[in-house]
Every structure is written in structure tokens, then in C-alpha cells.
Amino acid sequence: MKITINRNSFLNELATVQRAISSKTTIPILTGVKINLTDEGLTLTGSNADISIETFLSVKDEKAQMLIEETGAIVLQARFFNEIIRKLPEPTVTLEVMDNNQVAITSGAAEFIVNGLDAENYPHLPVVDEKKQLEIPVRVLTKLINETGFAISSQESRPILTGVHFVLENQTLKAVATDSHRLSQRVINLENSNNDFDIVVPGKSLQELSKSFQDEEEMVSISIMENQVLFKTSNMYFYSRLLEGKYPDTNRLIPTEFTSEITFNVAKLSAAIDRASLLSHEGRNNIVKLSLADNKAIIFGNSPEIGNVQEELTYESITGEPLEISFNPDYMKHALKAFGNIDVVIKFISPIRPFTLEPTDSDISFIQLITPVRTN
Amino acid sequence: MKITINRNSFLNELATVQRAISSKTTIPILTGVKINLTDEGLTLTGSNADISIETFLSVKDEKAQMLIEETGAIVLQARFFNEIIRKLPEPTVTLEVMDNNQVAITSGAAEFIVNGLDAENYPHLPVVDEKKQLEIPVRVLTKLINETGFAISSQESRPILTGVHFVLENQTLKAVATDSHRLSQRVINLENSNNDFDIVVPGKSLQELSKSFQDEEEMVSISIMENQVLFKTSNMYFYSRLLEGKYPDTNRLIPTEFTSEITFNVAKLSAAIDRASLLSHEGRNNIVKLSLADNKAIIFGNSPEIGNVQEELTYESITGEPLEISFNPDYMKHALKAFGNIDVVIKFISPIRPFTLEPTDSDISFIQLITPVRTN
């Protein structure tokens, strides 16, 4: 294998596959990046137990300035390799596989000789079922992930809750995540979906996936295999394992009747919650209290050692019964952040029942649920 | 005490004194910031075992929009206080001391009540000997600190080496630091110095000092007291303890006769050292080898597991005997960084004797010393 290539183009590909490469793996070859060079271009692969990423850089890509002298394949230690390429002196780099899987990396006067591993020993990626279940814009999928992924559980005690539940049926795609204290559910309409599915994708995989996309205007196709999902863009294959087991029925958790409603601008409410949580974060119980009465909404936070805070909130509209309710301000902050700066309506039933947050724009099917904290 | 003040002006002062405040102190009141309000303005104080910082914001400062309703003093938990002020909704904040050292912090609709401590219990700062030993521009002092401070020892086994040695005599100010593996010495001429001194200032104090300056065009006056030094600008008093003991005689360490000399551009050499150190960092001994022979300068680095690197260096000029010398590339990187991007001449005696680095511009009295590593 021998190739000369633009360093920046190469680094860009490396950065993507590196998201899948962990230095902590117990399988030594997986600490490496697999480089496979054909007459068509360069394929890089990185993999760990949960995800595998493959990128393809075409020989026709002009920026890449690819000069292929000999095709072939090799596996190189990902961590060093990236560092070396990054620090080379000239705009291009030449990689040449020599005897004993040694690789010469040259750029200007600098010459590295590094030890590689035989690419034959690199594990094979799952075989792809080419049947596409779904194709959506990267931008839409990324937004869906941001709107729900934060609400997954970080506890391994209920593994199924560490993923986001995606259900495709009746031309709609529903994404739901919950850690049993809060829930976020987003539903979008799709016009051209073919085969329905019901899968749970690990939250961590989705996080890496959304960081791996390079162009949010292109399309990503989603294919489901036995216990894997493949997200495919024009030059990236992103595989993730699926979580096994049955996701709880979250539909029955979402209340439909309420006694009080209040509408806020997200930015204004976020700032006030932020202030109230400054002190609650120091207390044993991280809670703030919201009081609705006499057309006033007041938030309270306190810490026995430091002091207390109260603030009358600016709202857009208010209706219903008076109420005092306590909750974890961090759940509220995360929920508000997921909405972006819009107006949201918060609907309450009682101090001990979960409350909901929804955009005032009823065209957006997006609902969040937060369980309050009982204080007496 | 009651004052209304611009939040940004106040935060700016807080940030400065906070450099001296540690949450780990064993003296509880020192986790707080002392606020003292007189008719002239606002004095903030922060202190720990090593340094104390006092800032003064004059009532005449227009940006501060200060409205003093009642003078007085209080001590507030520094960490929260800063966070609270930072997150308040309006451009100004009002502080009012109430009964039992409680303080109301209000801004717009937000009202915090926090517990303060009696300012009477805050320790007194050292009494200042008003005799100024030296007055120099902030810019010059900051540069001096950057040029030497990195070479102090981080080992507490020889405490005196954890400081920078400043000697004022014969109208020159010399700053030297060494950790016994490398040394950096910078000498500047001063026209109007009065009383000579010979002090060792803790490196950490100097680091905080250089970050605390707000205006590098103003002057800083330096006064030495019994075991303290005071750096004073128009609105800041920065006290540091001095290190006790005799600083080693570093003059005798600096060689004056050499067998080989080579001149480099700092940026080019730095980049090459950076590459060579990529692999040396992984080896048991973090060393790179420089070979001078036949008008070529070649740098080598290697790690048994990863591989090796060599690069022919671009130099400006070379004279003297051939040489092979090994050294810690990190010492070289730090030394080069301290010079900035100029040309430097490196002078060698032998593979086992320290080598020197100096600017080619002989008007700059700046010398660094690095001890090589014996490899056989």
C-alpha cells in the first residue's frame, strides 16, 4: 500500500472513525484504525463493542489530492497516528506499507516509521441488509436526538432505559427517552417510510452519531438488521448495536387532563431556574419550589448553609388552580434547553403528579414530562 | 452597608481577588471575600496562606455606576457570591447588609438572602512599608515572569527552587529559575532603581500575579517587607510571602566556552521537536537525540512499541565539532516557547555537559540552560 494524500482531508476522515475507537478495549486490534486502499479510494474503519464507523474518501475528491501508487490495507494505532498526521510539516503526507507491517509516514523532512498490524486480522463488520427502512435528512435526525437523548437513564440497572426508543409506524417516527424521573417524546411525520420498526438505540451511540455527521443537509438512510442498526450517508456507514428487551409503554404515562397551566418564554424561565438552582445545588435535596397563586408565579430555592432566593417569574399567560410544586431544577433546565428558545406551556395536575411541558405551537408534536419531588 | 453597582464592574473586581481565595483553606473566613464600603469606594479582599489581593473601585469610576447608601463591611462566601452576581437578570445589583450579617442581593425580580460573616473577624493584611524599591511597567514584569517562571521546580523537596530568584543591583534586575535540570535567566536594565534587593518569590504567586494585572501599560511598584513582597498598581495591592533560605549561586552554572553552535528559527525548531517528542513521550525515557555532523542537524525520537521518527532540521547557521546529544524534548519545548518566535543560538560543549540557548540578538540578556540525558 502506498498513497500520498492531503493531510486535512485525511485528518477529517480519521476524526470521524476515531469516535468509535477506544483505547480501553480488550481486543488490541480495535485500538487501531483500519486503512483500506483500493483504486476507488480510501476506506477507514474504527470499531468498539457498541459502534463501528466506516468512512470512504473517493479518489475523485479533489481536495484530497490522492495519489495512489499501490493498493492494500493496514491497521495503525489510532491515537498516535492521528497525532503524527496532525503535526507533520507539509500539506500532504505519504503512507507506505513496508515489510513486517511497518509503515513509513513521510511529509517534508519528517519521516516516521511506525508498527502496524495485519489488516487481515481486523474483525469483519456486520453484513448490511440493503433494504432501507427509512431515509430522512441528517438535520432532522440530529434534532430528534438532541430533543430526546438527554432524557435517557445513566443507570445500568435498567439497561433498556439507557437507549432512545424509536418507533416507525403509520408514516410517523416517534422517539422517546425516559430515566423514570422525566421523559421526552418527539413525533415527526414522514411521507415516504416503507417498513415499520420498533428499536431501542443506545444513547451513547446516538451521541457519537450526531457528532459524526459532516453535512446536515444530506440524507441519512436507516436500515435495521438482526440486532444492529446502520445509519448510512454518502460517505459514512455508522453501525450501532441495538438494546435488547421490551421498552416500557410510555404512552400511558402522559397525562391528558390538568388543573393549572402557565406559559413561559423558554429563555426567561431558564435564566430564573438557573438562579434558583444556584442554592438548591448546595442543599441535600436539589429541589426548587414553584408557587402559582393570585396570578403570580414565584420560584424559590434555598440552601440551609448559604441562604435562599426567590423570584417572581415573567410569564405569558396563566390559568387554573393555585398550586405549590417542588422539582429538580436540573430536569427543568434540560427540558427547556431541548425546546430551544420558543414559548412553552407547562400543565399541572397536582403537587404529586408529573407535569408536562409542550411548545405553544400545536403543530410541533413534542412533549416532556417531569416528576415532582414530594416535600412532605 | 448598602450599595447599588454595575454587575460587570463588580464581577471584574471579584474575579481578581478570587485568585487568592481557596475553598480548601482551614481558616473558614478565608473562603470568603471581604467587602468594605467607604465613601470613597469599594475595597474587596481575598487571601490565602501565600497571597493576598486587595482591589479598589473608586466611587468616581463611571462604568461602575456606584450608588452608596450606607457604608460598612461584610464577608461573603466567594464561590457562591460570584455565581450569584454573574447570573442576575439586570445590569446592576444591590447589596444590603441586614441583621445577623445576612445580606440581601437584589437585581430585578430576583432576590437572594445569603449568610455573611462579620468583617471584624477577617485577618489584617501586612502593614505596608511605603518605601518603593522599584517601579516598572506591568508589561515588563509580566514578560519577565513568563520568561523564567516555567523553569521553577515543582518538587517541594527543595522549596527554594519553587520560586523565582529576583536580584536588583547595579541598575539591573535579574530573574532566575531552575529545577536543577534546566535554568532560565533573564536580565533587564533599569534606570531608576533605588534600593537593591535579593528575594525569592513563589512561582505560584507570580503566576497568579501576572493573571491579575488588568492593564499592561500601567506601572507596578514593588516593595519588600520582612518576609513579604507587595506588588501595587493603581487599583490593586498584591501581597505574596517570600521563600526563606539562600538561593543557590546559579552564575557558576552557566558555561562560557563551547565546541559547537547552531542557530535555529524558534518556530521551525519547535515544530520538529514536537514531532520527535510524539514517540519519545511513549518510551520509558522521554528523550530525543540531536546529531550534528557534515553540516546536517538531524533529530531522532523513538518508542519501542510504536516506532521511530527522524527529521533533518532546517537551521540558519552551524559551526564547530560534530556531536550527538540526547535531551528531554519537553525542556526544549518550554525553553523555546519562552523565547517567542525569534532566532536562537544553541551552544554545546559535549554530550554530557549542559547546553545553552540564547537569542541571536545580543542586546537581549536572556540565557537558558538544559542538562542533557546520558544514554550510555
Q: What is the pLDDT of residues A215-261, one digit of tens each?
A: 999 999 999 988 899 999 999 999 999 999 999 999 999 999 999 99
If asked whether residues B322 and B349 sit together in one domain, one would say: yes
Query: Cα(A183)–Cα(A147) distance, rounded to whole angstroms?
Result: 11
Q: How far is B248 from chain A (nearest CA, A)?
A: 39
CA distance A33 to chain B (A): 14
Task: Indicate whether B240 and B260 sit together in one domain.
Answer: no
Inspect the interface and report whether the beta carbons of A115 and B271 lie closer than 8 Å.
no
What does the pLDDT read at residue B61?
95
Q: Are A109 and A208 contained in the same domain? A: no
- A129, part of any domain: no
Same domain, B169 and B222: yes
* In a shared domain, residues B116 and B6: yes
Q: 445589583: which residue's cell? A: B93
Could A272 and B110 be called an inter-chain contact, meaning their C-beta atoms sit closer than 8 Å? Answer: yes
- Please indicate, yes or no, whether residues A105 and A175 belong to a single structural domain of this protein: no
| Shared-domain flag, residues B284 and B234 | no
The residues, any chain, with a CB within 8 Å of residue A204's CB and separated by 6 or more, are A50, A162
Q: How far apart are CA B232 and CA B53, in angstroms?
A: 10
Q: Roughly how many angstroms between the first and final C-alpha of chain A, as a whole number?
A: 71
Per-residue pLDDT tens, chain B, 376 aa: give them. Answer: 999 999 999 999 999 999 999 888 888 999 999 999 999 999 999 999 899 999 999 999 999 999 999 999 999 999 889 999 999 999 999 999 999 999 999 999 999 999 999 999 999 988 776 666 789 999 999 999 999 999 999 998 999 999 999 999 989 999 999 999 999 999 999 887 778 899 999 999 999 999 999 999 999 999 998 889 999 999 999 999 999 999 999 999 999 999 999 999 999 999 999 999 998 888 778 999 999 999 999 999 998 888 999 999 999 999 999 999 999 999 999 999 999 999 999 999 999 999 999 999 999 999 999 999 988 6
Contacts of B310 in chain A (CB under 8 A): 110-111
Calculate what percentage of chain A has a pLDDT beyond 70. 98
**A83 closest CB neighbour out of B278, B312, B314:** B278
Instruction: Flag whether B375 is in a domain.
Output: no
Q: Are B115 and B101 in contact (CB under 8 A)?
A: yes
Residue range A30-45: average pLDDT? 97
Minimal CA separation from B90 to chain A, in Å? 11
Shared domain check, B308 and B280: yes
Whether residues B100 and B189 share a domain: the answer is no
Q: Which of A282-286, A351-355, B166-170 has the lowest mean pLDDT?
A: A282-286
Complex ipTM more than 0.90, yes or no: no
Listed in order, strand segments (DSSP E) in B116-190 are 134-137, 163-169, 172-178, 182-189
* Cell digits of residue A35: 486503512
The CATH number of whichever domain residue B355 belongs to comes to 3.70.10.10
**Closest by Cα among A143, A130, A140 to A219:** A140
**Nearest CB to A311: which of B109, B305, B312?**
B109
Residue A375 inside a domain? The answer is no
Kind and range of the H or E run holding A333: helix A329-339
What is the rounded CA–CA span in Å between residue A355 and residue A340? 19
Q: Is residue A10 very low, low, confident or very high in pLDDT (cuts 50, 70, 90)?
A: very high
pLDDT of the residue at A132: 66
Q: Is residue A128 part of a domain?
A: no
**A97 is written with which cell numbers?**
506499507
Q: Chain B residue with minimal CA distance to A303?
A: B114
Q: Is B309 on the interface with A (CB under 8 A)?
A: yes
Indicate the number of domains in chain B.
3
Chain A residues closer than 8 Å to B109 by CB: 311-314
Note the pLDDT of residue B300.
96
Collect all residues with Cβ–Cβ distance below 8 Å to B243 and sequence separation of at least 6.
B159, B160, B162, B163, B200, B201, B202
Residue B365 near residue B188, CB atoms below 8 Å: yes
Residue B85: give its domain's CATH number: 3.10.150.10
A12 falls within a domain: yes
Rounded to the nearest integer, the mean pLDDT of chain A is 94
DSSP per-residue string spanning B252-317: GGS----SEEEEEEHHHHHHHHHHHHHHHTTSSS--EEEEEETTEEEEEEEETTTEEEEEEPP-SE
Q: Which of A251, A281, A314 is the last residue of a domain?
A: A251
- CA distance linking residue B263 with residue B266, whole number of Å: 9
Last residue of a domain, one of A251, A273, A290: A251
Query: If you search the block for the grid coordinates 552557566, which residue do you land on?
Result: B254
Mutate to test the interface with A, among B77, B82, B98, B311 (most CBs of A within 10 A): B311
Cβ neighbours around A247 below 10 Å, total: 19
Find where cell 447599588 sits: B4
Judge: A102–B311 Cβ closer than 8 Å, yes or no: no
Please tell me whether residues B327 and B311 are part of one structural domain: yes
Q: For residues A307 and B115, what is the distance between their CA atoms, to the nearest angstrom?
A: 6
Mean pLDDT of A294-302: 96
Bridge partners (DSSP) of residue B30 are: none
Q: What are phi and psi of B234, to 5 degrees?
A: -60, -30
**Minimal Cα distance from A275: which residue of B?**
B87
Identify the domain boundary among A67, A95, A121: A121
Does residue B247 sit in the same domain as residue B263? no
Nearest to B227 by CA among B216, B242, B246: B242
Per-residue confidence at A25, pLDDT binned at 50, 70, 90?
confident
Judge whether A38 lies within some domain: yes
User: How far apart are alpha carbons B97 and B61 in whole angstroms?
Assistant: 23
Residue B129 resides in a domain: no
* Burial environment of residue B306 by CB neighbours within 10 A (0 to 12, 13 to 18, 19 or more): buried
Rounded Cα–Cα distance for residues B159 and B153 (Å): 8
| Beta-carbon pairs below 8 A across chains A and B | 85
What residues of chain A, 248 to 307, have a C-beta less than 8 Å from chain B?
271-272, 274-275, 278-279, 282, 305-307
**Nearest residue in A to B311, CA atom:** A110
Note the pLDDT of residue B310: 96
CB atoms A311 and B102 under 8 Å: no
Q: Do A307 and B113 touch (CB under 8 A)?
A: yes
Give the per-residue pLDDT at A127. 78
Residue of A nearest to B87 (CA): A275
Tell me the shortest Cα–Cα distance from B308 to chain A, in angstroms. Answer: 5
- pLDDT for the residue numbered A130: 64
Whole domain around residue B177: which residue ranges?
134-251
For residues B6 and B117, membership in a common domain is answered with yes
User: Does some domain include residue B115?
Assistant: yes
Residue A272 pLDDT greater than 90, yes or no: yes
Q: Which of A110, A272, A308 sits opposite B311 (nearest CB)?
A: A110
